[in-house]
Amino acid sequence: MGYGRSDSYRVATTQDKDKSPKKKKGGKDMDELKKEVPITEHKMSIEEVCRKFQTDCVQGLTNAKAAEYLIRDGPNALTPPPTTPEWVKFCRQLFGGFSVLLWTGAILCFLAYAIQAATEDDPAGDNLYLGIVLTAVVVITGCFSYFQEAKSSKIMESFKNMVPQQALVIREGEKVQINAEEVVGGDLVEVKGGDRIPADIRVVSAHGCKVDNSSLTGESEPQSRSPDNTHDNPLETRNVAFFSTNCVEGTARGIVICTGDRTVMGRIATLTSGLETGKTPIAKEIEHFIHIITGVAVFLGVTFFILAIVLGYSWLEAVIFLIGIIVANVPEGLLATVTVCLTLTAKRMAKKNCLVKNLEAVETLGSTSTICSDKTGTLTQNRMTVAHMWFDNQIHEADTTEDQSGASFDKSSVTWLSLARVAGLCNRAQFKAGQDALPILKRDVAGDASESALLKCIELCCGSVRANRDRNKKVAEIPFNSTNKYQLSIHETEDTNDNRYLLVMKGAPERILDCCSTIMVQGKEQPMDEELKESFQNAYMELGGLGERVLGFCHTMLAEDQYPKGFAFDTDDVNFQTDQLCFIGLMSMIDPPRAAVPDAVGKCRSAGIKVIMVTGDHPITAKAIAKGVGIISEGNETVEDIAARLNIPVSQVNPRDAKACVIHGTDLKDLSQDQMDDILRNHTEIVFARTSPQQKLIIVEGCQRLGAIVAVTGDGVNDSPALKKADIGVAMGISGSDVSKQAADMILLDDNFASIVTGVEEGRLIFDNLKKSIAYTLTSNIPEITPFLLFICANIPLPLGTITILCIDLGTDMVPAISLAYETAESDIMKRQPRNPFRDKLVNERLISIAYGQIGMIQAVAGFFAYFVILAENGFLPSRLVGIRLNWDDRSVNDLEDSYGQQWTYEQRKIVEFTCHTAFFVSIVVVQWADVIICKTRRNSVFQQGMRNKILIFGLFEETALAAFLSYCPGMDVALRMYPLKPSWWFCAFPYSFLIFVYDEVRKLLLRRNPGGWVERETYY
């Protein structure tokens, strides 16, 4: 968790920025592996690759060679990230954060007891008991939080896919099905649609092979694979298929070039597990809190140590006092309170689909100032959908909402019917069987994304496509390929009297337009003139500019005399007309944003959170989606937009004028750290497109360098380094890959970006409420310490004992403190800026001043009042008490006289003393009533906030019941030395309780009346 280490890491990233994702750390073997050159096989010819691996691209490896390679390279599996053993996790809970304070207290207690035991004949057991209780508290709370976290990690386990993978390899010319783990470099592998790719392979032959790289890149759009090298970058080239991605359709053969941890996927996973992350914001806050508390404790301890020496106590006694005072400052119940509060919030968040893996991460979202979000699947629905159509010389908008609640367009036009017919017929996608009960949008489709989008769109608008296809039997077909850029099919018509054939075609719009001589407008064919062509161009440009994928459609009825019934259409050597067709229209598709996202982004913005989009997709699409969801808000322009509007070159635009910017991954690579900082600082709306996993990491680090607390959302393996590095990584529960879930701190069970907003809200609320809880708990520290101080200085009988202190801290104070976690927000927490981690602390001097200096003091006075009343009623007036201590605590003095001359034995005196302890305890309970009510709010009046918090009222009842029980239960005088109180003694503290309430209401009134005034500056915590 050291910062030094993350710094050394940072240097490393800048160094190998241009190389493949690499990371040091881990064993020496790991370092060795990572020094190996990145993939170059895609640039080699197949023969070269075969030579390199001593394999044969027909026969495959020999079994002997394969066995040899397997021994050399190890199994083809990812090394699981080093899991922390359970006992280490447990110890982390036992000794982490807040527990340190309690452990120190416990050790000091034992130390003090040891000193007492060594020096006194009959040592008081108080220190020993306190030490034991402190230890018990830490251990119990440790166990509690350990089991809490174990529970959420159990949910994690369930995500793991335990099915063993199989791979079809060719060895010695024979196809064998082997375990994917046994695949070695040089193996000839065959994959077909539906298979998972067993290793990184260099494709040697392919038939319509398409792979889904979503687990690697997050983009689910299938990409075709062929033996030719199309790009220098191994990640972009067509002839490499990657480990753990899926083959969607077609078949391919390839030679394995990397296995296990050396694969691209393996590198990212290793990079991720090698990253060290910093402390969570709440952990830092708790550390700061411990510093303050320790400061106060040591200050008090040392002051009274000196005072004790001056007053003539012996050294050892003074040391015991010192330890006693320091330990008395430890808020015993706070650790449990904080843990329970966080757990409650974690539970509440889990109900709202945010699963928190680490308790401390509960608050992190609340402090978040920047969210770096992935696009596909998080902001968008991750399904291609028809968004626009152009026909009848007009752009029509289709309904892209998930529940079909959006507006529809005019479906009455004859042109639309023709368009729908073409889109339905010239389409190879079809619904998988057995899904008739499901709504159309939820059905699974076999086929490519665009065709599925068309299929669903047509099915929704015009009814069963299958029935339509049955009526128009397909006679011939030319499937889409990248050279034609069109797809064509010929059908019989549904009219049995009509013997003509129908030719339908779809493809790249410009390609389709070239084949057409006429265009259909309002159902009538018109010759294509320049005006219509221009209108087509405009529509095409406009839809393309929206980041949509545009397809053109056309058809024609083939003349019966040329193509009579039974004509043999030859699709290889085309023997029919493919020009002079009739253009119908355009349809454009996009992966539309999720419905709830724009709203959520708006909420984030009003909450002062910057939302940055980081995507592997193309800049135009990314920008379009960013505009759609409000990441680039309306009216804000990028540098390019301004340049286009003013018609000047991009270089002449002042970058400061543009609030928004879209940055391409290749540009990002060339940016210096300063330039990067400059961009992140000066642009409020940023989109990063075509980014690599490593660049995501650099972006996150850039934001963190500027002091932001960064949340990252992502689902792909490519996101996992960034997820790990972020202050809070948010993975997707449904679409997310295992690696990303492992790296994340939080999981959105419904994959919905909007759930993040709930997380932010809950996080901010718990931060406020923790402040209140802590303020409440700390206040009672003062009435607990002062009796001991006065005992030392004024030599009065001890007014409050250790046992009673524990009864307050671990008994009566617990439920009210926890109940403050249920408080509702005082104002709209989503309207304020995220807290500044340097200025807005969980516990600051003002909180300490209120708790210790003001309310605590009143409470102490209340306690002492009850103490003096009881002693006075028994005959000891306050004047008699000062300096009485030595005689009072002396067992041999059995005739101590009170103010009236009555004589008291040691036992009798002790009974009065313990009755005083009980009364002091009850008084603290009474003043804590007022305290919990004033702690409900930090600014508002209680009358504005109301008393709707039922748990709090429950807490008030329970603490009073507990106090009464402890005082009146028979046997308590023996067990805890608590004695029954006369009813009148209960009322001693009432005026003080009232005073606390009035005092704080007045303070808050002044605070509200003079915003920014002295009262606010000095007392608003």
In the bound complex, what is the minimum distance in angstroms from residue 733's beta carbon to other proteins? 12
Among 79, 967, 993, 1019, which residue sits at the site for other proteins (rule: CB under 8 A)? Answer: 967
CB of 972 to other proteins, least distance (A): 10
Assess contact for 252 and 333: CB atoms under 8 A.
no
Q: Could you tell me the sign of the dihedral formed by the alpha carbons of 634, 635, 641, 644, in that order?
A: positive
Residue with Cβ nearer other proteins (143 or 438): 438
962 binds other proteins (CB under 8 A): yes
Our CB check for other proteins shows the closer of 13 and 380 to be 380
Q: Which long-range contacts (CB under 8 A, 24 or more apart) does 478-483 make?
A: 478/571, 478/574, 479/208, 479/428, 480/507, 482/224
Q: Which stretch binds other proteins (CB under 8 A): 19-27, 193-201, 776-784, 976-984?
A: 976-984
Q: Which stretch binds other proteins (CB under 8 A): 485-493, 533-541, 619-627, 966-974?
A: 966-974
Task: For other proteins, give the closer residue by CB, 386 or 600.
Answer: 600
311 burial level (CB within 10 Å; 0-12, 13-18, 19+) = middle
> Interface with other proteins includes 982 (CB under 8 A)?
yes
Number of helices (H) and strands (E), helices first, in the chain? 41, 28
Binding residues among 714-743 for other proteins as defined by CB under 8 A: none
Angle between helices 597-606 and 619-629 (to 10 degrees): 70
Binding segment toward other proteins, per CB under 8 A, in 133-141, 449-457, 529-537, 757-765: 757-765
CA–CA distance, 828 with 826 (Å, rounded to integer): 7
Largest pairwise CA distance in the chain:
136
Min separation Cβ 965 and other proteins, Å: 4
Task: Note whether 912 binds other proteins by CB under 8 A.
Answer: yes
Binding-site string for other proteins from residue 932 to residue 961, where x marks contact by CB under 8 A and - marks none: ----------------x-xx-xx--xx-xx
| List of residues 6+ apart from 160 with CB closer than 8 A | 738
Decide if residue 761 touches other proteins (CB under 8 A).
Answer: yes
Contacting residues for 965 by C-beta, under 8 A, at least 6 apart: none
- Strands (E) across 720-776 are located at 728-732, 746-748
Please enumerate in sequence order all residues whose Cβ is within 8 A of that of 721, keeping only pairs 6 or more positions apart, or say none: 21, 268, 271, 272, 275, 693, 694, 696, 697, 743
**Alpha carbon distance 575, 562 (integer Å):** 11
Among 135, 277, 353, 887, binds other proteins (CB under 8 A): 353
Q: Which stretch binds other proteins (CB under 8 A): 94-102, 162-170, 459-467, 596-604?
A: 596-604
The least distance separating other proteins from the CB of residue 931, rounded to whole angstroms, comes to: 18
Q: Which of residues 969 and 998 has its CB atom nearest to other proteins in the complex?
A: 969
Q: CA dist 989 to 869, 915, 924, Å?
A: 11, 15, 8
| Residue range at the interface with other proteins (CB under 8 A); choices 196-204, 295-303, 718-726, 750-758 | 750-758
Instruction: Report in angstroms how near the CB of residue 894 gets to other proteins at its nearest.
Output: 13
Q: Taking a C-beta distance cutoff of 8 angstroms, is the pair 385, 457 a contact?
A: yes
Under 8 Å between Cβ of 30 and 157: no
The yes or no reply on residue 964 touching other proteins (CB under 8 A) is yes
Q: Which of residues 965 and 1014 has its CB atom nearest to other proteins in the complex?
A: 965
Nearest residue to 834 (alpha-carbon basis) of 371, 369, 370, 372: 369
* Size, binding site for other proteins by CB under 8 A: 46
Binding region for other proteins (CB under 8 A) out of 29-37, 193-201, 517-525, 745-753 = 745-753
Is residue 752 within the footprint of other proteins (CB under 8 A)? yes
Q: Which is nearer to other proteins, 383 or 724 (CB)?
A: 383
Minimum distance of other proteins from residue 557's CB (angstroms): 44
CA dihedral of residues 600, 606, 608, 611 (deg, nearest 10):
30
| By CB under 8 A, residue 755 contacts other proteins | yes
> Interface with other proteins includes 874 (CB under 8 A)?
yes
Let me know if 374 is a catalytic residue.
yes
The distance of closest approach from Cβ of residue 366 to other proteins in the complex, given in angstroms and rounded to an integer, is 15
Q: CA separation (Å) from 328 to 106, 258, 499?
A: 11, 62, 99
Site for other proteins in 243-282 (CB under 8 A): none
Of 38 and 980, the one with the shorter C-beta distance to other proteins is 980
Distance set, CA 835 to CA 65, 356, 766, 772 (Å): 61, 21, 13, 16
Annotated catalytic residue within 374, 399, 591, 898: 374
Closer residue to other proteins in complex, CB, 254/630: 630
d(CA 341, CA 318): 38
CB 267 within 8 A of CB 34: yes
Helix (H) or strand (E) holding 1004: helix 990-1009
Contacts of other proteins in 889-908 (CB under 8 A): 908
Only segment of 46-54, 639-647, 802-810, 869-877 that touches other proteins (CB under 8 A) = 869-877
Among 38, 250, 608, 875, binds other proteins (CB under 8 A): 875
Least distance to other proteins, CB of residue 924, Å:
17
Instruction: CB nearer to other proteins: give 400 or 468.
Output: 400
DSSP annotation string for 624-665 = HHHHHHTSS-TT---HHHHHHHHT--GGGS-GGG-SEEEEEH
Binders in 397-456 for other proteins, by CB under 8 A: 402-403
| Torsion angles phi and psi, residue 808, rounded to 5 | -75, -55
Closest CA to 498 of 564, 555, 562: 564
Residues that bind other proteins (CB under 8 A): 352-353, 381, 402-403, 594-596, 599-600, 750-752, 754-755, 757-758, 761, 824, 873-875, 908, 911-912, 948, 950-951, 953-954, 957-958, 960-962, 964-965, 967-970, 980-984
Could you give the residue numbers annotated as active site?
A: 374
